[in-house]
Amino acid sequence: MHTGIKVIVGFVIVTLIWATTPLAIKWSGQGPGFLFGVTARMMLGVALMLFIAYLKRVPLPRHRGAMLTYLAAGLGIYGAMLSTYWSAQYIQSGFISVMFGLTPIATGVLAYFVLAERGLTLFKLVGIVLGVVGLVIIFWRSLHAGQAVFYGIAAMCLAVFFHALSTVLVKRWHGELSSMTVTTGGMLVAAPAYLLTWLLVDGQWPASIPEHALWSILYLAVIATTVGFNLYYYILKHMPASQVALLTLLTPVLALWIGRLFNHEVIGDHAWLGTLFILGGMSLYQWGALWLQQYRAKSKLVN
């Protein structure tokens, strides 16, 4: 299969995985607790990754660039995911994906400083404003529900930052490392950190694990972690970091509907309006200048 087609197929699969992951994250912590849920996912995931890497004889280089890449990937897997799992206790699953819709902003700003990618234009600034307005619309009513929701929002902002920072750092140091190598190396960094965190903060094996939580942990470990991370780093290797972040434009609406259908989450008109602002802002952020250029080109042809 041609590389371009592989990238497109991988992009679609990652979109579907990311759309279902928020609800699975929420379910995995119902009963055993969010720390056990994420730690169990990561321990199963790293064991599976090492097994696959052994079967496929995937190398794990130890030169400076490779080690920095593993640390960068581990930063995203640990920092972003831990913040997301904690936040899932207090906000609806669909809104987790909507919050990640702000990732292109953080990624673009960080990529400007770290990767020397394109600077902030007027369209990007307007897109940022629309995104922030959308976020305020979505959570305006929720903020009156108490401090817990506010903390959930703050945790998701932190998750977005860690994810964006990890993305640009991996892009900087990725080199010729395969996606399997990056994923395995990142998991080897993150999994022990999760285990240590669980031991220090909780350390108690749950008395029982509800069936939906167990299946969610298995889905997250096998599909979201093993398949999702590998495909993510594969498309990251073949696409600019700012374009990879566009995954977060496609998943929010799907995630909102999945949460509504399978978890009976209430989605008010203000939530849809806010989501529209965020997606519109992110679209303008990424393609505004191109749209204006195409419009001017067509106008010249007509005249």
| CA 298 from centre of chain | 37
Cβ–Cβ < 8 Å for 174, 69: yes
Cβ–Cβ < 8 Å for 160, 102: yes
d(CA 172, CA 103): 17
Quote the pTM value.
Answer: 0.82
Count CB-CB contacts under 10 A for residue 133: 16
Under DSSP, the state recorded for 142 is G
Structure confidence at residue 175 (pLDDT): 67
Average pLDDT over residues 103-119: 74
For the chain, the domains span: 3-302
Could you read off the pLDDT of 173-185 as tens digits, one per residue? 776 788 789 889 9
Does 194 score more than 90 pLDDT?
Answer: yes
Average pLDDT over residues 142-170: 82
d(CA 92, CA 290): 34
Could you read off the pLDDT of 276-290 as tens digits, one per residue? 888 888 778 777 777
